[in-house]
Amino acid sequence: MTIPVTSTAPAALEFAVTRNLAARGRGEREEILANPGFGNHFTDHMVDICWSAKGGWHRPRVSPYGPIQLEPSAAVLHYAQEVFEGLKAYRHEDGSIWTFRPEANAARMQRSAHRLALPELPVEYFLESLKQLIAVDGDWVPDAAETSLYLRPFMFAKEAFLGVRPANKVAYYVIASPAGAYFPGGVSPVSIWLSDHYSRAGKGGTGAAKTGGNYASSLLPQSEAYDHGCAQVLFLDSTEGKWLEELGGMNVVLVYKDGTLVTPQSESILEGITLNSVLQLARDRGHKVEERRVSIDEWRVGSESGDIVEVFACGTAAVITPIGELKAEGFTLGDITAPAGELTMSLRDELTGIQYGRRPDRHNWMTRLDG
C-alpha cells in the first residue's frame, strides 16, 4: 500500500483571525485537560474555508468555536455528501507541538473528496489550516503521557438544494478536541464481535473513503457488538461474507509465529495511515509483511493451531489495540485473559515513541505545527 501525495502550489491563503473573547481561562482549560476523555470537549476556535463552483476556495477564517448556520435544505443533511479526517497534535518534551504524516491525511482527504464528488482541498491549505488552529489554540495540546489534541478536519455540502447532484457550495472546517490516554490503566486486549450479516461497505461503494455514511451503517452492528460484551465489530466482505475487511474505524493485522504480519487487502477498506506506518516499522525490523486477502477460516485455523500468535487493530485514536478475543455466532477464538502480544506492544511503543519525540524519526513522518 502506498500513500500518494499530490503536490500542487495554489496561491497562499490569508486567514482572517477573529479571537474568541469568551475563550476559557487557564484554570478552566487545565481542569478539562486533566481528564479530557475523547471527543467531549472542544477548543476555543475553529477554522473554515469556503468553496463554490464559481469562486473555488475562498474566505479562510479562524473564528470562535460555535454553532454553524445551515439551511434546513443543506444537501449534506439529506444526501450525506461529507468526508472527514482525524489526526493528532502531540506535545514533545521541550514544549513544541507536532503532528504525524499530515500530508498523508491531506492526500487521503482528497481521495475521499473525489469519491464523494466534493472539491479537493490543496495539501498546502490542509497543512496551513492545522497550523492556524494551533497558533490560537496551542495551549490546548496536553502534555501528560499518551495525551494529545485530536484534530478533526471535515468537509460537507452546504448548498441549499434538494436536487440530487454534487453541491456547488461546500464548507471545509477544522475543530480540535483534547484526548486523554486511550488506555488509562495500561494497554489491555479487547474482545471484538464478528458481524455475520451486516457489511460495512460493498464492491464499488465508498468503503475506501473516510465518509460519515460508512460510520452510520456501522452503528447498528456496533451496538450488537456491545450487546455481546465486545468493544468493536469486525466486518467481512459484502459478496462472499468470507474475507476480513476491518473494524468500524480501525484496520486489522494478524501476526504469524514466524513473525510475518498479514493484513487484509480489499478495495472497500479504508487505507489507514497508522497501519501503513506500523507495517513500515515491521519491515524495517526485517519482518515479512503480506497485504492480501485473508479469510475468516484462515484466522480460525491459525488461531486454533497456534500459528497465529497475535492479532491487533490500529488507527489514530488508539494507535494499536491488541485483540484478545474474537467472538462470533457459534465460536470464539483466542483468550481474553492472555497478556497483549510482544510484537504488538513493541510496535506500539516504537510508533508512539516517534510521535511523542522520544525516538528518532527515521522516515521524516513528523511535522511541526507551532512556531
Ligand X SMILES: *Cc1c(COP(=O)(O)O)cnc(C)c1O
For ligand X, the binding residues (CB under 6 A) are 86, 210, 246, 249-251, 270, 272-275, 315-316
CA 152 and chain centroid, separation? 9
CB atoms within 10 A of CB 209: 23
- State the nearest-atom distance from the C-beta of 210 to ligand X, in Å: 5
Q: How far is the CB of 200 from ligand X (least distance, A)?
A: 7
- In the complex with ligand X, the residue whose CB is nearer, 23 or 281, is 281
In the complex with ligand X, which residue's Cβ is closer, 136 or 151? 151
**CB within 8 A of 238, min separation 6: which ones?**
199, 201, 202, 203, 205, 268
| C-beta atoms surrounding 254 within 10 Å | 23
Taking the complex as a whole, the smallest distance from the CB of residue 219 to ligand X amounts, in Å, to 13
Minimum distance from residue 249 beta carbon to ligand X (Å): 4
Least Å distance, CB 104 to ligand X, is 8
Give the rounded distance of the alpha carbon of 94 from its chain centre.
26
Q: Which residues contact 210 (CB under 8 A, 6 or more apart)?
A: 83, 84, 85, 86, 108, 109, 112, 270
- CB-nearer residue toward ligand X: 230 or 253: 253
- Helices 273-284 and 102-115 cross at an angle (nearest 10°) of 130
Q: What cell was used for 124?
A: 498546502
Nearer to ligand X, 238 or 316 (CB): 316
The terminus-to-terminus CA distance of the chain in angstroms comes to 33
DSSP 261-286: EEEE--TTS---HHHHHHHHHHHHTT
Cell of 14: 490569508
Which cell numbers in the block locate residue 138?
496551542
**Pairing mode, strands 251-256 and 244-247:** unpaired
CB nearer ligand X, residue 62 or residue 236: 236
- Please name which of 178, 1, 169, 19 lies closest in space to residue 88, comparing C-alpha atoms: 178
Torsional class of 253: left (φ above 0), alpha (ψ -120 to 50), beta (otherwise): beta
Closest CB 318 distance from ligand X, rounded Å: 9
State in angstroms the smallest separation of the CB of 94 from ligand X. 26
Is there a contact between 148 and 179 (Cβ–Cβ < 8 Å)? yes
Taking the least distance from each CB to ligand X, the nearer of 41 and 152 is 152
Min separation Cβ 53 and ligand X, Å? 28
* Distance from C-alpha of 306 to C-alpha of 212, rounded to nearest angstrom: 38
Closest contact distance (angstroms) between CB of 175 and ligand X is 16
